[in-house]
Amino acid sequence: MNQIAQIGHNQGPDPLDDAIAPYGDYITEAESWLDGTSVESEAQMKAVDDLLKQIKAAEKDVTSAQKSESAPLHDAWKASLERYKPTLADLDRIKRGLIAAVDGFKRKLAAERAEAERKARAEAEAKARAAHEAAMKASETDIEAQRTAAVAKQAAEDAARAASAAKRAAPVKGMIYKTFYEVDDRKALLHWIAVNDRPAMTAFIDEYARRNHSMGRKMDGLRVWRDKVAK
In angstroms, the CA 177 to CA 51 distance is 61
In angstroms, the CA 153 to CA 159 distance is 10
Per-chain mean pLDDT for the chain: 88
Q: For residue 58, is pLDDT > 90?
A: yes
Q: Are residues 151 and 190 in the same domain?
A: no
pLDDT tens track for 168-203: 887 888 888 889 899 999 999 999 999 999 999 999
In a domain, 176, yes or no: no
Q: For residue 2, is pLDDT > 60?
A: no
Write the CA distances from 176 to 99, 106, 169, 173, integer angstroms.
12, 11, 16, 9
In a domain, 175, yes or no: no
Mean pLDDT of 25-51: 93
For residue 10, name the pLDDT band (cuts at 50, 70, 90). Answer: low
Given a contact cutoff of 8 angstroms between Cβ atoms, the answer to whether 26 and 62 are in contact is no
pLDDT tens track for 207-220: 999 999 987 788 99
Mean pLDDT of 70-87: 92
The residue from 141, 169, 197 where one domain ends is 169
pTM: 0.57
Domain with 185, as residue range(s), is 181-231
In a domain, 174, yes or no: no
